[in-house]
Structure 1
């Protein structure tokens, strides 16, 4: 049996006005940047003796060793896996981004959204 492989895609965002105020709960004007995409590929781990891997943003390794900046992806994996009835979430996740991380373009949110879409 061939395991199901899921893919999901989201886009970057740009905040035009109020970039710093959103941190304090105030409104801002933001727009999606449809030309800059984040894609996630998620597939079940075969055999059950592997916890799964995470690859993206220049890092690759076991999910349990993922750096802190992958927290949104790890949380998205947990929530989506619970939703589909697999609380262990034995998945391998690969993200590919057309835009850089840590530049205010929403890469964490885009990655989380792409992973959720790929799992579902």
Structure 2
């Protein structure tokens, strides 16, 4: 899928996005309380807010604390399904977590959708 291309849900991301290097799959898992979390490479993310600029983009944050963890991802609002998993497509906004990944978390086959350059 090309950035800025149309799909069934419409345009996913603008082709002029300067921040985006990779579009990745973030797989849904459930928290102990039943809310949706997104996971990739041993890190989990919880919904934080919709983008103030584009309501089709969601901001998710790493829920690990204390101390506050700066890990962040941005994803398209639409859910996708494949290989028995629900997932969202997006990119890593801040990969600098204040803790190590937790490899005992459920690992799934993640795919890189797009690489610019």
Interval of TM-score (by shorter of Structure 1 and Structure 2):
under 0.3
Greater C-alpha Rg: 1
Higher percent of residues as strand: 2
Higher percent of residues as helix: 1
Query: What TM-score comes out, normalization by structure 2 length?
Result: 0.27
